[in-house]
Amino acid sequence: MVMYDQKGSSHPLGKVILRMEAGGALLPDGSDNLMEVVGVLKSYGVVLDAYWRNLLYIADRQFLVFFPFFKYFNGKVSLPKLLDHWAHQRINYEFSEYCMKAMLWHGAAKLDAYLDSPAFAERAERAIRAKIKFNPAAGLLHRIFPDFLPEWARQSCYYSVLGQFWRVMSPMFLILSDRYDRGEIRSIPDVVAHIKDGLVEAANLPLTYAVDIRGEHYELIPAEAGLHFLMDAAVPYVEAVFFRSFPFMGTVSYNAQAGQISENQADFNYGALYADPLPIGGSGIPPTLLMQDMKQHLPKYLREYYLGSLRGEEDMRVQICVSFQKSMFCVTTAAMLGLAPYPIDTDGPDQQRANRAYLENWMDRLMHSRLPAFN
């Protein structure tokens, strides 16, 4: 670890550390970066609004539905919607489930501790028995494989938690865009401050989850579980989706003997901050679905910016991915500053030293991300 030096840092990403200590962000400030970040977050906010509504619909209304053929319709099935769905003229909700599964697989410490507790097992069992009361086949399945349906209930909790997280983030990004249009957001640090303030304001929002079955209310995550927005949804989301995630099928070998994937789950670095934007647009790449959704909702100024590039429309998804990664470094900056041991502008030498060590630990993790390319 590099020792603290007020004048500089010998870390390979030392200039990023100094910029953050001076009130900056992981992403350099600049008019193009600002326009890209705000524009892509405007589109992302629109898409997230659809994502969170569907995740909560699945959690609330598709609980233990064994064949949820119409789970992406939010309870409104019609022939025109079916035709649009088959023609892919729709929001690609599969990507939101991909993010949910990343969180489920990597886990969230306090949420997992509750889901492993006897209290959750008892609540889940009551809801399961109510749901399968008139389904003898499901009852037999539950007796033979007693862990199967509780695991399904556990997954439903992750659907709900991610939906609740995005329900806060969506308006946060849309309000950011409105403030930019009014001239209130003039720099990348302004973007970071807006997001940081939003995260702090929502930090203690409780995470709860319940389902209604035949007129009865069954709480699966009650308020007394003590789960809250920032530490039990936002931080695990950043860890699972920004940093770790998992390799995309068809782009990385799954040959464990060849050592092409780490044996240690904690070492996975396939998240949004690390992904190569060039494969975006190819089939089988989950972020392609997100970029396609965002492409449909770009603000006019950002679309024109992309069309003015060398390839224009042909690689717009790749361009959106690059802008999106820039925006996620701004979100990561907000999270880093919010979790720092001391305020980043502290004057105390000991506190400055602790902050420097904290930032260097982050830079160690980000060395092989896309951050060096943006700096």
φ, ψ for residue 203, nearest 5 deg? -50, -40
CA quadruple 309, 371, 276, 240: dihedral, nearest 10: -130
Q: What gap in Å lies between CA 120 and CA 114, rounded to an integer?
A: 7
User: What integer pLDDT is reported at residue 4 of this predicted model?
Assistant: 47
**Pick from 59-68, 93-102, 240-249, 350-359: least confident:** 240-249
Summarize the confidence of residues 199-206 as an average pLDDT: 96
What was the pLDDT predicted at 98? 93
- pLDDT of residue 283 exceeding 80: no
Q: How confident is the model at residue 253 (pLDDT cuts 50, 70, 90)?
A: low
Q: What is the pLDDT of residues 76-131, one digit of tens each?
A: 999 998 998 888 889 999 999 999 999 999 999 999 999 999 999 999 999 999 99
Write out the two tokens for 149: 């349906």
For 37-58, b/e burial (b = at least 16 CB within 10 A) is bbbbbbbbbbbbbbbbbbbbbb
Q: What is the largest CA-CA distance in the chain?
A: 72
Q: What is the pLDDT of residues 126-151, one digit of tens each?
A: 999 999 999 999 999 999 999 999 99
For residue 344, CA distances in Å to 21, 196, 202, 330 come to 6, 13, 21, 16
Which residues on neighbouring strands pair with residue 280, listed in sequence order? Answer: 282
Say if residue 3's pLDDT is above 50: no
Beta carbons within 8 Å of 269's beta carbon, 6+ residues apart: 243, 244, 368, 369
List residues bridging with 150 in a β-sheet: none
Q: Residue 256: what pLDDT?
A: 66
Q: Which pLDDT value is given to residue 185?
A: 97
Q: Identify the residue with better confidence: 259 or 61.
A: 61
Q: Is pLDDT at 375 greater than 80 in this prediction? A: yes
Instruction: Give backbone dihedrals phi and psi of 166, rounded to 5 degrees, phi first.
Output: -70, -25
**Model pLDDT, residue 259:** 74
Cβ–Cβ < 8 Å for 43, 299 = yes
pLDDT higher than threshold 70 for residue 71: yes
Contacts of 343 (CB under 8 A, 6+ apart): 351
3-state secondary structure of 152: helix
d(CA 91, CA 109): 31
- State residue 88's pLDDT score: 84
- The DSSP bridge partners found for residue 282 are 280
- Which of 270, 192, 203 has its CA nearest to residue 233? 203
Q: How many helices (H) and strands (E) does the chain have?
A: 16, 2
Q: Is the pLDDT of residue 209 over 50?
A: yes
Compute the distance between CA of residue 33 and CA of residue 4 in angstroms, rounded to an integer: 30
Q: Please check the confidence at residue 258 and state whether its pLDDT lies above 60.
A: yes
Q: Above 90 in pLDDT, residue 9? A: no
Query: Distance between CA 35 and CA 11 in Å, rounded?
Result: 30
What is the pLDDT, as a whole number, of residue 89?
Answer: 86
**Cβ neighbour number for residue 174 with a 10 Å cutoff:** 17
Q: What is the pLDDT of residue 115?
A: 97
Which tokens hold the place of 341?
């041991």
Output the pLDDT for position 234.
96
Q: Is the pLDDT of residue 325 over 90?
A: yes
Residue 1 scores a pLDDT above 60: no
Res. 2 pLDDT band, cuts 50 70 90: very low
Q: Kindly calculate the radius of gyration of the chain based on its CA atoms and give it in whole angstroms.
A: 22
The single residue listed with the structure tokens 């193009």 is: 32
Running DSSP on this structure, what letter comes out for residue 206? B
Alpha helices in 87-182, H assignment, sequence order = 94-106, 109-115, 118-131, 136-144, 148-181
pLDDT tens per residue across span 291-324:
999 999 999 999 999 998 878 778 899 999 999 9
CA 272 – CA 40 distance, rounded (Å):
14
